[in-house]
C-alpha cells in the first residue's frame, strides 16, 4: 500500500512539472530535489530543455544535483549533443554545478564556440570548473578565439571565464592584443585589466580599452611589442 502511494505521489509530481503555472512547476522541482528518486531523472533533464522560466530551470538543475551522479551524467552528456540550444546550455550549466571532471572530454571546442551565445557562455563557465589540472593553458588558447564576440553581456562572461583561469591566460591575451580586429583587441585589453585588477568594472574596462584601440590604431605587421623575448 505504501509503495502504491509513493508511486501515486511520484506521478502527481511529474505531472506538476508540466503544469502551465510556473509557480506549480517550481514547487514540483523543489519537491523532487527534496525527495529524489531515479524515476525523476529523465523527466528533469527533458524539462530543462524546454522550461521557459529561469527560476524553474535553476530549481530543476538543483534537483538534478540531488540525484546520484551515476544516474544524472549519462542523461546530461546526451543533452550536450542535442540540436536544441536550451538543452545544450542547461545541460552544461548542470554539469558545472555537479563539478565532476570525468565529463571534461564532453566540453568540446564546438561547444566552446557554439553559434548560440547562451550555449557558448554555459560552456565557458563549465570548462573553467571542469578543466583538469595542467590543461588550463590549452583552454585559455581556445577561449581566446572567442574574444570580441557578441554583446557586452557575452563578452563579460568570456572575460570572467578567462580571468578565473589565472595568469595562464597571459600569452593568449597578449596574442589577441595584436589582432587586426579592433573588437578583439579591445576585449583582450579589457580582460587584461580585469586580470590585474578584479575589482575593476567590466563596462569601465571595455570602454577604456576601446579608447586605447581607437587612439593606437591597427597594429603594424612589424610590431614586435607583443612578442616574448
pLDDT tens figures, 122-141: 999 999 999 999 999 999 99
Give 3's pLDDT tier (boundaries 50, 70, 90): very low
pLDDT band at 198 (very low <50, low <70, confident <90, very high): confident
Q: Is residue 24 scored above 70 in pLDDT?
A: yes
**Distance separating alpha carbons of residues 24 and 28, to the nearest angstrom:** 6
What was the pLDDT predicted at 221?
45
| Per-residue pLDDT band at 229 (split at 50, 70, 90) | very low
DSSP-derived secondary structure letter, 108:
-
For residues 152-169, average pLDDT? 97
Confidence (pLDDT) at 72: 97
Average pLDDT over residues 155-162: 97
Angle at 73 between CA 71 and CA 75, to 5 degrees: 80
Nearest to 25 by CA among 44, 6, 9: 44
Closest to 112 in 3D by CA, of 98, 101, 126? 126
Q: Is the pLDDT of residue 34 over 80?
A: yes
Give 115's pLDDT tier (boundaries 50, 70, 90): very high
pLDDT over 60 (residue 33): yes
Residue 7: the pLDDT is 66
Residue whose C-alpha is closest to residue 127's, from 161, 157, 98, 154: 161
**Do 92 and 126 touch, CB atoms closer than 8 A?**
yes
pLDDT for 200: 85
> Hey, what's the cell of 178?
595584436
Helix (H) or strand (E) holding 93: helix 85-98
Give me the CATH topology for the region 1-130: 1.25.10
Would you kindly state where each structural domain of the chain is located, as residue ranges? 1-130, 136-229
pLDDT of res. 222: 46
Amino acid at each position: 500500500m505504501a509503495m502504491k502511494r509513493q508511486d501515486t505521489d511520484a506521478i502527481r509530481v511529474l505531472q506538476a512539472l508540466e503544469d502551465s503555472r510556473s509557480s506549480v512547476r517550481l514547487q514540483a522541482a523543489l519537491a523532487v530535489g527534496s525527495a529524489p528518486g531515479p524515476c525523476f531523472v529523465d523527466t528533469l533533464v527533458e524539462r530543462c530543455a524546454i522550461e521557459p522560466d529561469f527560476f524553474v530551470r535553476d530549481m530543476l538543475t538543483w534537483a538534478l544535483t540531488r540525484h546520484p551522479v551515476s544516474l544524472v551524467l549519462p542523461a546530461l552528456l546526451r543533452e550536450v549533443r542535442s540540436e536544441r540550444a536550451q538543452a545544450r546550455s542547461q545541460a552544461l550549466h548542470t554539469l558545472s554545478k555537479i563539478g565532476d571532471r570525468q565529463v571534461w572530454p564532453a566540453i568540446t571546442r564546438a561547444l566552446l564556440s557554439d553559434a548560440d551565445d547562451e550555449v557558448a557562455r554555459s560552456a565557458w563557465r563549465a570548462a573553467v570548473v571542469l578543466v583538469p589540472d595542467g590543461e588550463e593553458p590549452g583552454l585559455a588558447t581556445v577561449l581566446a578565439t572567442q574574444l570580441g564576440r557578441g554583446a557586452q553581456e557575452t563578452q563579460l562572461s568570456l572575460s570572467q571565464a578567462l580571468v578565473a583561469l589565472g595568469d595562464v591566460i597571459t600569452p593568449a591575451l597578449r596574442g589577441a592584443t595584436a589582432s587586426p580586429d579592433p573588437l578583439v583587441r579591445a576585449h583582450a585589453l579589457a580582460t587584461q585589466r580585469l586580470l590585474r585588477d578584479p575589482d575593476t568594472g567590466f563596462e569601465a574596462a571595455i570602454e577604456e580599452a576601446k579608447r586605447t584601440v581607437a587612439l593606437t590604431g591597427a597594429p603594424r605587421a612589424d610590431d614586435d611589442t607583443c612578442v616574448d623575448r
